[in-house]
C-alpha cells in the first residue's frame, strides 16, 4: 500500500465529498447500468466495479469476463491509500518455453497459436473479485451477481460491436460447437438486434453467488475447464484441476511517479502499463506542452519520440516480476528519464529508437510480441470518494474460442513471447509454468499537488492501451481538456514503418507537418476504447469513449 496524502488529507474526506454522487463508466451501457444499480443499493466503488465485471461477462464476452483476468487499482477515499490487485492469468504447470514452437522448430504464427487449448491461462478474475470484495466490499457477495444473472437469464440485445466480432471469428467456430451454441442463431452468427439468452451462464453465476469463489476454482467447473482445454479440437494441451485450484490473485504495490505537480499511480509488473506511460510523461516534462498546445504538430513530434523511446524500453525489460528482475525503479528514475529525454529532438525525428540501460538493469535480450487489440476498462467512484479503476480481458475476440459453463476462456498465453531465446540468450517474457504474461493494461489514478485523487483513466486495445492512456493524461493535465474530450482526442501511435495516425480523427491533420519533421507517417485504424472519470467543482463526472457503445452514468 502507498499513502498518497500529505498533511491535508483529512480535509479531503470532508462531508461535502462524503456526500458526493457516485459515477460509473464502462464500454457497454448494460454493464454501466449494473454498476449504477449497485451504487443505488448502497454499494461502494468496489461493489459497483465487480458487478460491472460480471455483467461484461454476459454482454461483452468478446472482450472480457470471468474466463479471463485483469488488473485493479483501488483508492480509498477516506484513508488516501492506494492498493492494486493482480488478477492476471497464469501458465499451467505443463507449460514450457517451447509452448508456441512448432514442429519445424520455429515460433507458430499467431493465427495458429491462439484458437483452442494451447493459449489458455488459468483465469484470474474471480479470484480478483473475491480478494477485492473481501478487502473493501460493502454489499453481500451474492448481491453483486444479480444484474449479470438477469442479463444472462432474460437475455440481452446484440450490439453492432459484438455482431462484427462474431463475424470475425465465424470461420473458426466449426471447431468450437459450445461457442456456436451460445452465440449463433439458426446456424449463423447472431446479428445486430438479435436477443441472446445464456441460461448456462445464468445457472453458473447463481452457483458462484451462492457458493463463493471455490465454485470456480475447484469441483465441477475446474474439471470442466481442464477437460475443455485438454480435449479442444485445436491445440489441445494440459491444464489440470490442480493448476486451477492453485491460482491466487496477488496484492502488489502500486507503481507511482510524478509528472509536473501531479502524482500518478498504476499497475506494476507483469503489467508494463504504468512504467511505460510514466516514462513517456517523464521524458516530456521538460517541454512546455501546455504552451505548445494540442493542435501544434511540434507537441506531437515530441510526444511521438517519447513514445518510441519508452516502448523500446518496454520491449526489453517488461515481464512478470516474480520470475524476472524488472528494473521498475530504474525505469522511472528521474535522472534516467532525463537522459532518455535528451535524445528527443525539437528539430527532427531520429532514425531509430533503442532501449536504454536504466539503473539496476541486468543485461537483457530484446524480443517483441504482438498483442491483440481486445480487452475492456471500467471505472467506479462512490460517494465517499473511493475509486476502482480496472482493466479486464480475455485477450482477442472471444479469447481462445473455448466456452465453459456459458463463459469464454481467454487466450492470454499468447501475450508471452513465442520464441524463448534470441541470439542464444533467454527472453524475459518467455513461457514458464506459473508465470503471468506481460501486459499493456494501464489503469491509472492521478493525484493533485495536495494529494487529492482528481482523475482516473484506462483503455483497451492491446499495445495501444499505453499510448491511449498517455495521450489522455497529457490532454487532461497539460491541455486542460475534460475527461471526455481527452479520451476522444485522436491517437498518434506507431508501426514497423514509423508513426501511424488514427484515421478519421483530428490526428490525420498532423501527417504532412510530422513528415516535414522527419517522421515516416501513415494513417491507420485500431480497436480503441477508453473510460475515465474526473473530479470537477460539482463532483465526479464520468467519461466513455464514443468509439465504443459505452456510457458513463451518475448514481
Distance, CA of 296 to CA of 391 (rounded, Å)? 31
375 is a catalytic site residue: yes
Q: What is the phi-psi region of residue 313: left when phi exceeds 0, alpha when psi lies from -120 to 50, beta otherwise?
A: alpha
Residue 180, CA distances (Å) to 131, 394, 403, 404 in order = 33, 18, 9, 12
> Please, are residues 407 and 341 in contact by the beta-carbon 8 Å criterion?
no
Q: What is the phi-psi region of residue 515: left when phi exceeds 0, alpha when psi lies from -120 to 50, beta otherwise?
A: alpha
C-alpha cell at 528: 480503441
- Please tell me whether 504 is known to bind a ligand: no
Distance, CA of 492 to CA of 304 (rounded, Å)? 7
Q: Which residues pair with 94 in a beta bridge?
A: none
CA nearest neighbour of 252 among 274, 234, 232, 279: 274
- Please tell me whether 88 is known to bind a ligand: yes
Buried b (16+ CB within 10 A) or exposed e, 207-232: bbbeeebebbbeeebbeebbebbeeb
Three state DSSP letters for 225-292: HHHHHHCCCCCCCCCCHHHHHCCCCEEECCEEEEECCEEEEECCCCECHHHHHHHHHHHHCCCCHHHH
- Please tell me whether 440 is known to bind a ligand: yes
- Catalytic, out of 375, 414, 456, 464: 375
Distance, CA of 519 to CA of 347 (rounded, Å)? 11
- Please tell me whether 415 is known to bind a ligand: yes
Q: Which residues are known binding-site members for L-glutamate?
A: 88, 415, 439-440, 462
Catalytic residues: 375
Amino acid at each position: 500500500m502507498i499513502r498518497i496524502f500529505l498533511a491535508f488529507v483529512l480535509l479531503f474526506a470532508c462531508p461535502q465529498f462524503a456526500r458526493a454522487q457516485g459515477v460509473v463508466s464502462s464500454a457497454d451501457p448494460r454493464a454501466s447500468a449494473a454498476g449504477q444499480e449497485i451504487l443505488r443499493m448502497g454499494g461502494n466503488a468496489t461493489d459497483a466495479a465487480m458487478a460491472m465485471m460480471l455483467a461484461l461477462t454476459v454482454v461483452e464476452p468478446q472482450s472480457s469476463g470471468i474466463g479471463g483476468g485483469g488488473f485493479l487499482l483501488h483508492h480509498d477515499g477516506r484513508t488516501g491509500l492506494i492498493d492494486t490487485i493482480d488478477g492476471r492469468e497464469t501458465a499451467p504447470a505443463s507449460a514450457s518455453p517451447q509452448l508456441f514452437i512448432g514442429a519445424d522448430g520455429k515460433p507458430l504464427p499467431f493465427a495458429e497459436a491462439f484458437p483452442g487449448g494451447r493459449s489458455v491461462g488459468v483465469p484470474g478474475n474471480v479470484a480478483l473479485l473475491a480478494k477485492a470484495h473481501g478487502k473493501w466490499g460493502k454489499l453481500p457477495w451474492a448481491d453483486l451477481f444479480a444484474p449479470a444473472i438477469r442479463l444472462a437469464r432474460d437475455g440481452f440485445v446484440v450490439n453492432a460491436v459484438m455482431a462484427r466480432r462474431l463475424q470475425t471469428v465465424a470461420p473458426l467456430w466449426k471447431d468450437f460447437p459450445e461457442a456456436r451454441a451460445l452465440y449463433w442463431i439458426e446456424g449463423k452468427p447472431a446479428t445486430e438486434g438479435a436477443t441472446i439468452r445464456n441460461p448456462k451462464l445464468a445457472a453458473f453465476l447463481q452457483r458462484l453467488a451462492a457458493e463463493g469463489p471455490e465454485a470456480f476454482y475447484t469441483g465441477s467447473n475446474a474439471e470442466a475447464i481442464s477437460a475443455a482445454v485438454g480435449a479442444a479440437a485445436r491445440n489441445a494441451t494440459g491444464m489440470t484441476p490442480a493448476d486451477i485450484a492453485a491460482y491466487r490473485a496477488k496484492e502488489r504495490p502500486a507503481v507511482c511517479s510524478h509528472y509536473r505537480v501531479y502524482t500518478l499511480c498504476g499497475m506494476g509488473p507483469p503489467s508494463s502499463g504504468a512504467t511505460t506511460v510514466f516514462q513517456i510523461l517523464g521524458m516530456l516534462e521538460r517541454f512546455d506542452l501546455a504552451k505548445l498546445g494540442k493542435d501544434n504538430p511540434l507537441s506531437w513530434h515530441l510526444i511521438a519520440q517519447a513514445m518510441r523511446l519508452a516502448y523500446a524500453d518496454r520491449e526489453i525489460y517488461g515481464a512478470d516480476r516474480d520470475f524476472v528482475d524488472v528494473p521498475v525503479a530504474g525505469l522511472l528514475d528521474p535522472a534516467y528519464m532525463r537522459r532518455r529525454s535528451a535524445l528527443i529532438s525539437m528539430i527532427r525525428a531520429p532514425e531509430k529508437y533503442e532501449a536504454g540501460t536504466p539503473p539496476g538493469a541486468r543485461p537483457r535480450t530484446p524480443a517483441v510480441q504482438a498483442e491483440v487489440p481486445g480487452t475492456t476498462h471500467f471505472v467506479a467512484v462512490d460517494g465517499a470518494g473511493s475509486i476502482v479503476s480496472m482493466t479486464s480481458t480475455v485477450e482477442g475476440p472471444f479469447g481462445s474460442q473455448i466456452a465453459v459453463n456459458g463463459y469464454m476462456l481467454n487466450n492470454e498465453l499468447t501475450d508471452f513471447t513465442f520464441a524463448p531465446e534470441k541470439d542464444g540468450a533467454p527472453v524475459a517474457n518467455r513461457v514458464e509454468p506459473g508465470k503471468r504474461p506481460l501486459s499493456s493494461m494501464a489503469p491509472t489514478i492521478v493525484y493533485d499537488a495536495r494529494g487529492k485523487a482528481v482523475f482516473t483513466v484506462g483503455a483497451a486495445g492491446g499495445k495501444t492501451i499505453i499510448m491511449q492512456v498517455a495521450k489522455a493524461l497529457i490532454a487532461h493535465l497539460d491541455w486542460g481538456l475534460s475527461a471526455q474530450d481527452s479520451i476522444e482526442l485522436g491517437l498518434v501511435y506507431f508501426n514497423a514503418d514509423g508513426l501511424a495516425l488514427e484515421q478519421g480523427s483530428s490526428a490525420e491533420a498532423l501527417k504532412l507537418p510530422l513528415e516535414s519533421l522527419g517522421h515516416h507517417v501513415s494513417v491507420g485504424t485500431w480497436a480503441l476504447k477508453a473510460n475515465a472519470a474526473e473530479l470537477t467543482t460539482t463532483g465526479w463526472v464520468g467519461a466513455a469513449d464514443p468509439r465504443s457503445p459505452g456510457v458513463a452514468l451518475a448514481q
